[in-house]
Structure 1
Amino acid sequence: MARSDIAVTGLGLVTPAGIGVEAGWDTVCEGRSAAALDPALRDQPVRISCRIPGFDAERLLGARRAHRLDPFVQFALVAAREAIADAGLDPRTWDGARVGVVLGSAGGGSGTVEEQHRVLREEGPGRVSPLLLPMELPNMVAGQVAIEFAARGPNLVVATACASGASAIGTARDLLALDRCDIVLTGGSEALVTPLIMAGFAQMKALSRRHDDPAGASRPFDADRDGFVAAEGAGMLILERTGDARARGARVRARIVGYGASADAHHITAPDPDGTGLALAVRAALADAGAAPDDVRHVNAHGTSTPRNDLTEARVIQQVLPQGPSVTSTKGVTGHLMGAAGAVEAAFTVLSVERGLVPPTANLRRLDPRMDIEVARSVEEGVLDLALSNSCGFGGQNAVLVIARA
């Protein structure tokens, strides 16, 4: 079996497009934006976000459990539960010592930190919750998933800003290839739509201020894009070696056959305008997969709806994949899930290659004339043998996954 032959046997999604894989996929294929004015941000300079519709942590996790978990952990647990069930696995019977957890998160429990800082200022240190650290530390999302599902193998959180989810999946794939695990729960989770974080993004001029049209605010690759829309949620994948998955009769949704990572080494927040780092990651991922640029039929782009990122990424696609694969950015629907974005978009890419469907890029009304790429404006059908999922992050982080049909 080839080193790169790693199967995706389960998916779980909790996103602004909906709770559950099918709900999220349907919304993305409809191209229906989840962005809206957010009452929790009414005093902020930017008041648009993408929230998860109808997420009731008490109902999904139990009141006592929910109150002891930051939302970024709540989202991960619900998504992991769906992914495990989708894979046909039972944590009560698996060998937990051979089950790993590798998750991505850019910020951890920022909402908990903000709330407990308010308590400190207003009520004093004696009123700060003893659960502050267990709730806010980024590694606790992997720790809580391990506790919930008796996963005793390697357990870690990857933090590469908005590339974190994709970096986690790449790391999980390597653990399987190295025979450190037989099963890995991987993906990303984020809950950074908080007053402090949103104020910081607003000060950076990174967010769309289209308050007169919030549903149209996230518009990747559009000539009139003016920033991203912040979002929350989680995406989880179950990975196994393909031979092991087939031996137990599991459904293989798709395969992760390549992974490339790089750094721009350019700027703390802005992408290298030449796209050198991202191009390196794309080429490394294709080499890892033993694939040629002409093999790529679809790219689920990072596509944040920011002026610089979209232009840089389009130039890299033009340069490295000149045959013109069908490009989409699902952030037009979901907004930008930051550390969870790469995992959610990898899950959507798995569904694309499995079902032969490319979702549209919502709100694309006029392609930036500087971009010579084929961006999907409606659902496109066709055989997608090989697809890329691109992710980038502050600090010049780049992570690219190559996903192949089963």
Structure 2
Amino acid sequence: MSQKRVVISSFGCCTPLGDHYAAIEESLRDGRSGVRKIAKYDTATFKSHFAGIPLSGNFPTHDVRRRFSHDEFYTRTAMENLLASVSFDPGAIGEQRIGCFLGVDEPVVDIQQTVDLAYDLNKVDGQFANLDPALERHFRVQDFIRYDPTNALRTVHKFVPFKGPASVHLGLCSASLQAIGTGFQAVRQGRVDAAIVGGVSAKVTAEHYIGLESVDIIATDERLDPTALSRPFDARRSGYLPAEGAVLFLLESLDACLKAGREPLMELVGFGTSTNASHIVKPAPDSGEMKLAMTRALKNAGLQARDIGMVNAHGTSTILNDLHESAAICAVLGEQVPVTANKSLHGHMIAAAGAMETLNSLISLRSGFIPGTINLESRDPDCLANVSPFTLQRPVDYCLKNSFGMGGLAASMIFKRIG
């Protein structure tokens, strides 16, 4: 069976760099950071006070302006923007021929709800004497939804009533690129005619930051300006900067896109994955999973290393990840291919990171430039990848995108410029 060519025909987003093409392009081209002071919760007792947060989402969870949880708000905003920019009638395709594949955060316990429950349990004498009424008081029907990782699928379904295959990926940092790859394969193989794919994350929370600060995995160097904390491949990098938001795409075959009168924005041509479960955080000593994901993506696309004109790196700004990814890029593609690390601009969007950087790649390919990696003041001499702090005005035909999650979940995808 012949494989279909797969394209992105629309996108919608809610990100630290903005919610529309022009704003994100300007940030990428000019090196304008999306890092800002956290207003979602009181950071007074924390080491970290900044993150990459969409302006529209930087309010406390209990704020009266917020009708939805942050992750649902981001998903709804992204879907509204996606459908506003394209004429898409699910009925014309057939709801059973539309799928949905998303990268999402793992469910977490509401710490404040737990604290309130503990206070209630201590209001009467006797251990567990009031456990049942306390649990009944603090249980909320919304908890069924909040602890269900498929809730994002329901939110998308309210906008596009798909009835085809659907799944969520919980692969942390590589979750949304894994989801995009799953949708790519489904359309390419003809299992669906269209798919909503991407990622959503809302992990800039007090609970998440407590854990990250306890293991010293996030950047907290007080000598640096907050916008300079995320510095992939730089000698002074000390950890990643958390971020959040949502980026969603409409995938369809090139033929269907053109037949419907929609403009293809970028073509997806290859996808590769690999796993190394030898350590919960550290990459394989030989960067094996990273090299294998990139090699498989090249093979899946029918391309050679020399065909790749740009790498959009995972580039977390952590010591080990950047070192291993640089080694893997050089081993598979050589030391000359230009590399950009967008997390320097907006931080690490975790489950939405791959989707955000896919959108950045789309904008870069369409607008003919390679974004600079800001905050790269002194490149780590052990990182030999060709990373530059300067934006390069250069048309590129093929871009390889990496997303490498904790626990060795690696994904690479190759995009092709259209036109």
Pairwise TM-score range, normalised by the shorter structure? over 0.9
The superposition leaves residues 348-389 of structure 1 with CA deviations (integer Å, 9 ceiling, x where unpaired) of: 111112221111111111111112222132221222111011
Residue equivalent to 1:161: 172
The aligned counterpart of 1:84 is 83
Q: Does 1:235 align with 2:247?
A: yes
- Distance across 1 between alignment mates of 2:86 and 2:362: 14
1:307-358 CA distance string (max 9 Å, x none): 1101111111111111622111110111000010001101111111222111
Q: 1:57 to 1:256 in 2, by over 3 A?
A: farther
Amino acid at match of 2:204: V
Distance 1:55 1:201 in 2: 21
Asked if the contact 2:266/2:416 (under 8 Å) is kept, the reply is yes
User: Aligned partners of 2:4 and 2:414: how far apart in 1?
Assistant: 10
Deviation of 1:119 (Å): 3.9
The separation in 1 between residues aligned to 2:86 and 2:295, in whole angstroms, is 31
Indicate the residue corresponding to 1:313 in structure 2.
Answer: 325
Which residue number corresponds to residue 173 of structure 1? 184
Aligned twin of 1:113? 110
Aligned to 1:283: 295
* Residue aligning to 1:43: 45
- 8 A Cα contact 2:329 2:335, kept in partner: no
Distance in 2 of aligned mates of 1:245 and 1:36:
38
The corresponding residue for 1:209 is: 220
Task: Tell me what 2:129 maps to.
Answer: none
SS in 2 for 1:88: coil
Aligned length: 398
Equivalence map 1:363-378=2 (5 Å): 363-378=375-390
TM-score, normalization by structure 2 = 0.89
1:107 deviates by: 2.3
Aligned residue in 2 for 1:24: 24
**Bigger shift: residues 5-14 or 282-291:** 5-14
List runs of 5+ in structure 2 lacking aligned partners: 121-133
Matched letter for residue 368 of structure 2: G
- The reply on whether 1:324 has 2:336 as its aligned counterpart is yes
Give aligned-pair identity as a percent.
Answer: 29
The amino acid that maps onto 2:17 is: A
Structure with the greater alpha carbon radius of gyration: 2
Q: Within 5 Å, which residues of 2 pair with 1:259-274?
A: 259-274=271-286
The answer as to whether partners of 1:353 and 1:383 remain within 8 angstroms in 2 is yes
- C-alpha distance in structure 1 between counterparts of 2:214 and 2:293, whole Å: 30
SS across alignment from 1:148: coil
Secondary structure at 1:286 match in 2: helix
Q: Give, as a single letter, the amino acid of the residue that structure 1 aligns with 2:341.
A: S
Query: AA paired with 2:117?
Result: L
Match of 2:206 in 1: 195
Deviations 1:45-88 (A, max 9, x none): 33332221133899xxxx89x53x32112211211222233343
CA contact (8 A) 1:262 1:280 kept: yes
Alpha-carbon distance in structure 1 between the residues aligned to 2:365 and 2:320: 28
Alignment of 1:304 with 2:316, yes or no, is: yes
Following superposition, the deviation at residue 4 of structure 1 comes to 5.9
Q: Which residue of 2 aligns with 1:95?
A: 94
CA distance in 1, matches of 2:119, 2:52: 30
- Partner Cα distance (2:93, 2:315) in 1: 38
8 A contact 2:79–2:159 mirrored in 1: no
Structure 2: distance between partners of 1:331 and 1:56: 19
Alignment equivalent of 1:248, drawn from 260, 268, 288: 260
Map of 2:73 onto structure 1: 74
1:165 shift after superposition? 0.5
**Aligned Cα root-mean-square deviation (Å):** 2.1
TM-score (norm 1): 0.92
Q: Summarize deviations over 1:159-189 as a string: whole Å, max 9, x none.
A: 1111001000000011112322211010000
1:14 aligns with 2:25: no
Q: Answer whether contact 1:119 1:128 (CA < 8 A) is retained.
A: no
1:53 matched to which residue of 2? Answer: 55
Q: Offset of 1:196 from its aligned partner?
A: 1.4
Greater mean deviation of Cα atoms: 116-125 or 380-389: 116-125
Please give the secondary structure, in 2, of the residue aligned with 1:382. Answer: coil
Alpha-carbon shift at residue 135 of structure 1 (Å): 2.5
Conserved? CA contact 1:37–1:211, under 8 Å: no
Q: Report the alpha carbon displacement of residue 92 of structure 1 after superposing the two structures with TM.
A: 6.7
Deviating 4+ runs (over 4 angstroms): 91-94
- 1:146 corresponding residue in structure 2: 157
- 8 Å contact kept, 2:306–2:333: yes
Deviations 1:108-132 (A, max 9, x none): 4x4x733433443345321332111
* 1: CA distance, partners of 2:88 / 2:269: 22
For the residues of structure 2 that align with 1:248 and 1:91, how far apart are their CA atoms?
Answer: 12
Name the CA distance, whole Å, in 2 between partners of 1:11 and 1:128. Answer: 37
- For 1:203, the aligned partner's letter is S
Return the offset for 1:97.
2.0
Q: Distance in 2 between matches of 1:27 and 1:91?
A: 33
